[in-house]
Every structure is written in C-alpha cells, then in structure tokens.
C-alpha cells in the first residue's frame, strides 16, 4: 500500500489508509500493481512455469522448444492482452452486430471442426444463456464487475460463462473465439484446477489467429 500511495504522491491518502484501512483502496492498489508491473510479473510467471516443466517433465531438446514457445506467448500477449496506446488505434472497426459476430464464429467452428463437436458446444453455451453482456448479471461476482474486457469466468457448479462486452465491430468475433477456446479447455474443470496463466493463453491465441485467417479469407465487404 505504501508504494501505491507514494507513487501517486498521495501522502495524505496513505496516512488516512493507516488510520482506517479499507477494502476498496486495497483493491485499487491491487489493480494498479498488476497494471504497473505486468511485464516483470509475466516474465516471472513464465520463468516459474519453465522451471517446473524442466524439473518434472522435460528431457533434452524439449527444453529448447518450450523456451521458444514461452517467448512466443509473451510476445503475443504483449501485443494482444495488454495493448499499448499505439496498438489501440489499430482496433478492428468494421461494424458488426452481435448476431453477425456469433454467426461468423459458428461458420468458423464448422470449418475447423467438421465433426461439429465444437459447434455443438457453442450452441450449448448459447442456449444455456452463458454468454453474458449485462454487467449487473448476478453470476458475475464483485471481482469480475471491475473488468471491462472479454473474459471467461467461473459461476460455480462447473458452470463457466463468457462475459461479452460487445463492441459491435469485427473484433467481437475474434474475442468470442478467444474466450470460447478458454471455455473448451476449462468446461470440465473446476476453477481451482485449470492451466496456469500465461500458458492458458496459448490455445486461445492460436485459434484467435486462425479466426483472423478465416476472416481475411472471407474478404468481408
Ligand atoms: Zn485469454
């Protein structure tokens, strides 16, 4: 809390906090910390994952492959999850309704998985009303209400939901594919037993890229 207040040069705030600590300030400091130290934290997490994998699972040149993989993940993550101002200008602005976005995702799923397993999963998700765009939905807990971006969250009882803040641009269809892949990997798990970030981003980023290729091929006009 000290670093948080000193960084903002808010010494009075620091003084007040010690007199009367409050949860809201703690939460704000937590988000500030995540934001400010995202890159060192990400590096640390990747290194940590590598150590674990080396220690228990890898032999010989597999280590090299993993090193490459982790570099790729961190580069992609920097470019997508944590966009810089400069990158934000390059947002995809092609207008698209929510239903058009869903339809494109369905078409994409049909193409990449002719067994239609993924498409049926997508229908299940939709029919059970687990693509949520209402921030006041009771399934979103307090922690999630702060988030403004797309994410998959656990609503208990192995019920995974996607929070979908539609932007009504082509980007929605890509975000939906990204979160849907998280859903596929998590759907049979409980929240405490999922792949650790940032490795959990790998499959989502892969299919997100495939979706971009799919859209380019369609040449939407
Ligand atoms: Zn993700």
**pLDDT at 89 (0 to 100):** 44
Task: Using the mean position of ligand 1's atoms as its centre, give its distance from the Cα of residue 4 in Å.
Answer: 27
Q: Which helix (H) or strand (E) holds 80?
A: helix 62-80
Q: Do both 63 and 123 map to the same domain?
A: no
**pLDDT at 101 (0 to 100):** 95
Q: Which of 35, 58, 88 is the endpoint of a domain?
A: 88
How many structural domains are present in the chain?
2
Q: Do both 111 and 202 map to the same domain?
A: yes
More confidently predicted of 51 and 58: 51
What average pLDDT does the structure give for the chain? 81
Q: Do both 58 and 124 map to the same domain?
A: no
Distance, CA of 155 to CA of 143 (rounded, Å): 12
Domain span at 173: 98-218
The 10s digit of each residue's pLDDT in 73-96 is: 666 666 555 444 444 445 677 889
Q: Do both 82 and 6 map to the same domain?
A: yes
Q: Which of 32, 1, 23 is nearest to 13 (CA)?
A: 1
Distance, CA of 171 to CA of 85 (rounded, Å): 17
Task: Using the mean position of ligand 1's atoms as its centre, give its distance from the Cα of residue 3 in Å.
Answer: 29
Mean per-residue pLDDT for 174-196? 86
**pLDDT at 33 (0 to 100):** 82
Residue 14 lies in a domain: yes
Q: Do both 106 and 67 map to the same domain?
A: no
> Is the pLDDT assigned to residue 59 strictly greater than 80?
no
Q: Do both 170 and 63 map to the same domain?
A: no
Mean per-residue pLDDT for 46-67? 67
Q: How confident is the model at residue 156 (pLDDT cuts 50, 70, 90)?
A: confident
| Burial (0-12, 13-18, 19+ Cβ within 10 Å), 105 | buried
Distance, CA of 111 to CA of 101 (rounded, Å): 15
Task: Using the mean position of ligand 1's atoms as its centre, give its distance from the Cα of residue 172 in Å.
Answer: 14
Report CA-CA distances (Å) from 61 to 58, 67, 114.
8, 10, 34
pTM, two decimal places:
0.64
Q: Which of 88, 119, 138 is the endpoint of a domain?
A: 88
Cβ density class 163-201: b for 16+ within 10 Å, e for less: bbebbebbbbbbbbbbbbbbbbbbeeeeeeeeeeebbbb
The 10s digit of each residue's pLDDT in 1-18 is: 888 999 899 999 999 999
Mean per-residue pLDDT for 51-66? 66
Q: Do both 211 and 162 map to the same domain?
A: yes
Task: Using the mean position of ligand 1's atoms as its centre, give its distance from the Cα of residue 48 in Å.
Answer: 19
Q: Which of 88, 113, 145 is the endpoint of a domain?
A: 88
> Is the pLDDT assigned to residue 173 strictly greater than 70?
yes
Q: Which of 87, 98, 79 is nearest to 172 (CA)?
A: 98
Question: What phi and psi, each to the nearest 5 degrees, are found at residue 189?
Answer: -105, 165
**pLDDT at 81 (0 to 100):** 52
Task: Using the mean position of ligand 1's atoms as its centre, give its distance from the Cα of residue 197 in Å.
Answer: 9
Residue with tokens 């937590």: 30
Residue 93 lies in a domain: no
């Amino acid at each position: 809390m000290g670093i948080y207040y000193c960084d903002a040069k808010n010494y009075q705030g620091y003084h007040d906090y010690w007199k009367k600590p409050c949860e809201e300030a703690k939460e704000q400091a937590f988000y500030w910390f995540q934001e400010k130290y995202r890159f060192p934290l990400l590096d640390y997490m990747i290194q940590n994952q590598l150590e674990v994998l080396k220690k228990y699972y890898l032999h010989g040149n597999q280590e090299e492959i993993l090193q490459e993989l982790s570099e790729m993940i961190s580069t992609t993550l920097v470019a997508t999850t944590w966009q810089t101002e400069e990158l934000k200008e390059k947002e995809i602005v092609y207008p698209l309704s929510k239903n058009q976005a869903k339809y494109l995702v369905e078409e994409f799923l049909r193409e990449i998985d002719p067994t239609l397993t993924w498409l049926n999963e997508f229908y299940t998700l939709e029919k059970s009303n687990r693509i949520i765009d209402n921030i006041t939905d009771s399934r979103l807990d307090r922690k999630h209400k702060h988030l403004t971006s797309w994410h998959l969250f656990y609503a208990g009882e192995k019920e995974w939901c996607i929070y979908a803040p539609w932007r009504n641009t082509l980007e929605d269809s890509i975000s939906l594919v990204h979160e849907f892949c998280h859903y596929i990997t998590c759907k049979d798990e409980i929240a405490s037993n999922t792949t650790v970030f940032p490795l959990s981003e790998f499959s989502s980023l892969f299919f997100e890229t495939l979706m971009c290729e799919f859209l380019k091929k369609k040449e939407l006009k």
